[in-house]
Each structure stands twice: as C-alpha cells, then as structure tokens.
Structure 1
C-alpha cells in the first residue's frame, strides 16, 4: 500500500488549492477526485464566480479575502491561465438592507476603497440598471469575477508540476482513521495510506462524513443567461466587463439576486441568479432540467433591476450548494480525529476564498494550526449528537 504524507479527497476548488499549497511546501500529497478536471457536477462551474472584499455577510471574512486576492493573482501567474478580472462590483439595496448596509460596515471597518451612490447616480453610471428611487449602492472598484473551471484546472496542474500526484476518475469508496494516528483510503482502483487526510467533499459531505451528522442542506440552484435588447442608448458595450460591474441587489425584500457583466461576447448572454432560492436535493438525484416556470420567475425578478433584459434565454444550468444553518463554512479538524481536516459547507459564497482555504487546509494538515482567523468555522458547532 503506497503511503503519503497527506491525502486529499476531492480535488475540486478547495481540495485542489490545498494540494497545490502542500506540494509547494514539499509535502508528498495524493489528490483523489471522482470526476474530471473542471467538471460540472458540483459547485465550481458556470464560467464565473464573484470576488469582492466589502463583505456584507460579516466583516470577519475580510482578512481572509485580502489573503485570497493575493492567492488569486499568484495562481494566475503560475498557471498562465486567465482567471481574475476585477471589473468592479456594485451592491444595491434599501438603506436598511444587509446587502447595502453590511457592505458599508465592512468597507468602513477595514478601510476598503468604495463609493456610495444614490439611485440617480447608479442609473447615470450604469444605464443598464434601474434601481428603485430610494435605493442606495456601494461601489467597490476592487471587486470582479474569477473563472471557476480555470481555477480548478489550474490548481491541479500547478500542484502536479510541484510534485503532487493527482488521480482523476478515481472515486473514494471508504476512508478510516488508523489506530496509530494515520489514515487509510480505499478507492475504486486501490488502497492508500497517509499520515494526514483532508476531506473537501462539496455536496457529497453527507455521504463521506455520515458519523458527524452535520445539518447540511444540499440544494439545487439554477443560474441563467439572458440576452438584453440593445439600443443606441444602451448598447452592447455597456454590458461588457470593461464597463459593467458584477452586482448584488435586494431592495425591500424582493429576493436577493446576483450576477455578472457579459463576459463571453455578444452571444454569450448576461448571467444572473437568485441567491438561496434552491430546492433540497442530493448529488445523485439532482434534476438537471430547468423549467419554463423557473425561467419566467428569474426574468420577472431580473426586470426589476434590468429593464432591457427582455431578449431570449441563451442557456440555464444547475449547480449544487452545501448550506450550513448559519451559512458559515465548516473548516477545521474532524472532531476526535485530529489527523483528519475538513473543508465543506461553503454555502454558496465560498468560492472567492479558494486560495486562502487551500492555505488553511494545508496548515492544519501539516502543523495542526493556522494563523488565519477561522474560529467562526469550527466544525464542532454543528455536530449533532447521536440519536
């Protein structure tokens, strides 16, 4: 049985980042992944993911985001892939809404560059948008998007270049902690041993971590690409990422939406989706079809902010969210198994942290501790007692 310093189960976004960091540190690491590089079966696909630092979810995330930004640029340099585009970001809501209010709190607390715009100024600077007259917006120039498929492929490639062994198409069937403090992992193709184990299972967490009984909600989400109606007043160029920011909006309880500029040409469509308007599912039973009623619900909501988004649907895709009750991550040692480190439950907002999560997982697997602030994500807070 071949032995490694660290095995990583799940070489998607977080696991790939961890393998990359470990290999850079000279650790003998094996990464095991059920699917293919950059696959579309989990949560790391769809062409774009938002990155931002004026973080309305909690100011406590901002130090991690700043470190993550350093990691995004490093990964782009090392891989030679185009991954990061900081086209700016705008967060719109009524004065008391968390999207606006929380973004303002994080920006002020951490000294993040920003502007506050009223509705009139939003419409002037971004004619694609028509927020309500009493809305406010925080504009963050250092926000934008990253490419998820490019990210997962880049981490795997760079990790392998640094000495990691990455095996795609090799699902794990069983893992166990050994009496001596190590681990054993059984796959469809073999058996491996290691001193430490990192598990980054995404939506497969309930299957790979059944003993912990985490109260995770696995949800089917949908994102959509529509075609705007272009005109002389609002031409295609105003939707491109050279002129248009990423955006998040919720005003007077109208259900939060988020989205992107047109990143893939005139024919690629204008991508957006609801945040946390999913339906319970499992990775094995998810319905990959998207229905007319869902498309119309998205279009009606989108038109509240984007009055010219009246053209045809280009495409719609499903995605899996793994959501914790408090919407904070699960990141830390496996309770009672210190040789096992967990990273899951990223609740639909974790992708922007990929590089720093990789560092945290690598730290915990090699030294048992990390300098990054992760107390908010302690797995023990969610462990349910048996019965």
Structure 2
C-alpha cells in the first residue's frame, strides 16, 4: 500500500518521500510469498467490488508502464458448503455487480480441474477473470515508477515516531527527522505503534504458507488450476497454481490464530505448521500433496470486523492511514494507494470507501 501511495502521489507532482524499515521488497511483513489472489467478486462484502475493478485497471496500467508481468489470469474458485458463507456470498456479490461467473457443484469442479478433490456436495462459484498478482514484482514496479516521477524512496530506515505540530507532520527515524505537510502510514503489523487510537483494533497474527510438490505437476499449472478459496466445516483455506518456485502453494486463513508481536514472532515454520497444512492438502488436493518444497511465515493484521482501515487517522489532522487488511488486502493495493493519495491531498476520494472508516468501531472498551 505504501509503494502504491508513493507512486500516485509522485504521479500527481507531489514532493514525496517513502521510508521503508526493511528491504525493497522484503519478507518481514504481509506482502511477499510469490503470489496473491485477485478476484472481482468479493464474498467478504459486495461493497469491495468497485474497488476491485479499479485495482484491475491500475494493475494493467502499471504493467504497461513498467513492462513487468504483474497480473496472471487463471480463473478462480470460491467453494464451500451450500449453507456456508463463502460460496453463497460470492454468488450474491457476482449477481449484485453482474460479474461473469458459473455456479458448480464440488463434483463438477473436480471433473473440470482434476487437481481438486473437494466434497461432491460442496457448492462453488467460478470466476473466469480471477487470478493472481506477483507481490514482489508489484512493489518493485510501484517503487521504480514512483522514483521515475521524482519520489525519493529510502530503505533500511526505521520510523520511530509520527507527530503533528503547528507546521504539519514530523516523522522521526533512526537516521533523522523529516517535516511534511501530510503523512501516510502504511506500516502493516507495525501501524499500531504510530496510531494509538487504533492500536487495539489492529491485531497481528502469524501466518504460514506451504508449497508442496505435486505428484502430477501439469494438474497444478496456471492454465489448469484456478486459484481458490475453500471453506471447510470449520476453516477457510486458499491456494494457487505452481508459479516461479517449485510446488503448489496454499495456506489456512489466520493459520492457528496466533496473535503475535511482529518483532518477536517465531519466523521459522514449525513441524505442527506443516502437519496441519499437509493434512488439508492430502484430503482435498491429493495429487498436490507430494514432498514439501518450502514453508514461509508472514503476518496478517486483522481488524475486529475483517474490513480495512483506509481513512484519516483518528485524532490526527495531517495523517492518513491504510492498515488492518486482514489477509485479503493485497489485490487492492493499486487502488488503495490511489485512495490514500486522494485522502492525503484532498481529504476525500471519489472511490467508495465508507466501509473502511476509521471511526466505525466506536468505543466499546469501557473507557
């Protein structure tokens, strides 16, 4: 979100400085792991759809500008029990916004895509325009395009404070102090360090991703294997075709629900992480459940309702925040960056972002 905001601000001729604590790109936060799902229909809430459509447009524009391959269309499956949330809500979202889709039984999914083995009586919504983004390349593209427009981007510099005074915003780092008219905070799991009014609404959770080598690799190629979100009786999983690195990638949303301090999180995957993920693959993607190729940790930063915070920061006049993307935000990064730039410069945006208001949580903490 930060690299996208820097790109849009610089595109509009604004003197822009981007500060990154780690490398560009890096593997310490929520924006790595080779692939990220993009889909137009949103089971989380139909209100996301216009922002998803704008995201597709902006990713394609960024591809054209930079020459990088960022967006890959594979089709996508949203599946689960007929009385669950994922499939019915995905279908409702598609119908509400006239999105191209098919409704399939689990048996029909398995027949069409042999890598799948979901329960025959599950229901699935297939969206032919779903696919995946390459997150590291997306970040590089936004950073390089921002730099080409005059933005200054600094890595390996840690922000220690964001404060306001009569002259605007003061940002302190381990290398110095900067003054600006406006600041945009997109610090992921670290955002709450700078946003005390939202600190207990932004909860970092440890996430683990797995790549297993298929025993029948062609079944998991991008032209044969749609990205998926699959709701079981108790959990939700998501996955991708083989791409760029060995193995078929998948994970469970929120993994074990392990709330963490991002600076102290166990980064090395554990045996129990692998065993839980492998058990799911053996049940529902058996020809994908070969030897483990790779395990990787990342972070979700969850809000109480699972929706984003994209708004002016509470109690701050010159700080805009993008945070709490709750494990489903990366696809929107191109459009969220545009919205953050709008809000920072004009205090408003033409995009539909009421769902992401920072004040929606009220104060139910008994204070």
Question: TM-score, normalised on structure 1?
Answer: 0.91
RMSD: 1.4
- 1:190 CA displacement: 1.8
Q: Distance in 2 between matches of 1:367 and 1:216?
A: 26
Match of 2:292 among 313, 319, 329: 313
- 1:383 CA displacement: 6.0
2:10 touches 2:146 (CA, 8 Å); kept in 1? yes
Residue in 2 that maps onto 1:258: 238
- 1:205 CA displacement: 1.5
Match of 2:250 among 245, 264, 272: 272
Task: Please give the residue correspondences for 1:233-248 in structure 2 after superposition, counting only pairs within 5 Å.
Answer: 236-248=217-229
- SS of residue in 1 equivalent to 2:193: helix
2:197 touches 2:315 (CA, 8 Å); kept in 1? no
Residue in 2 that maps onto 1:126: 113
1:205 touches 1:344 (CA, 8 Å); kept in 2? yes
Q: Distance in 2 between matches of 1:348 and 1:123?
A: 26
2:206 touches 2:254 (CA, 8 Å); kept in 1? no
Distance 1:160 1:383, change over 3 A: farther
1:213 touches 1:383 (CA, 8 Å); kept in 2? no
Aligned length: 365
Distance 1:211 1:91, change over 3 A: closer
Residue in 1 that maps onto 2:213: 227
* 1:115 pairs with 2:63: no
Q: Give structure 1 stretches of 5+ with no counterpart.
A: 1-13, 231-235
The worse-fitting range, judged by mean Cα deviation, of 184-193 and 56-65 is 184-193
Deviations 1:336-356 (A, max 9, x none): 322111110000101010011
Q: Distance in 2 between matches of 1:148 and 1:324?
A: 22
1:214 touches 1:382 (CA, 8 Å); kept in 2? no
- SS of residue in 2 equivalent to 1:176: strand
Q: Distance in 2 between matches of 1:351 and 1:47?
A: 12
- SS of residue in 2 equivalent to 1:192: strand
- 1:332 CA displacement: 0.4
Q: Distance in 1 between matches of 2:260 and 2:2?
A: 23
Distance 1:214 1:372, change over 3 A: farther
Runs of at least 4 residues off by over 6 Å = none
Q: Distance in 1 between matches of 2:203 and 2:162?
A: 23
Deviations 1:238-259 (A, max 9, x none): 21001111011113x1411100
Match of 2:328 among 314, 338, 349: 349
- SS of residue in 1 equivalent to 2:287: coil
Match of 1:335 among 314, 319, 322: 314
Q: Distance in 1 between matches of 2:120 and 2:142?
A: 44
Q: Distance in 1 between matches of 2:288 and 2:218?
A: 14
* 1:206 pairs with 2:186: no
The worse-fitting range, judged by mean Cα deviation, of 142-151 and 132-141 is 132-141
Q: Distance in 2 between matches of 1:298 and 1:238?
A: 19
- 1:370 CA displacement: 0.4
- SS of residue in 2 equivalent to 1:47: coil
2:195 touches 2:313 (CA, 8 Å); kept in 1? no
Q: Distance in 1 between matches of 2:211 and 2:361?
A: 36
Q: Distance in 2 between matches of 1:380 and 1:130?
A: 43
2:55 touches 2:332 (CA, 8 Å); kept in 1? yes
- 1:302 CA displacement: 1.9
- 1:51 CA displacement: 0.1
Q: Distance in 2 between matches of 1:32 and 1:382?
A: 29
Q: Distance in 1 between matches of 2:289 and 2:44?
A: 31
- 1:211 CA displacement: 4.4
Q: Give structure 2 stretches of 5+ with no counterpart.
A: none
The worse-fitting range, judged by mean Cα deviation, of 119-128 and 16-25 is 119-128
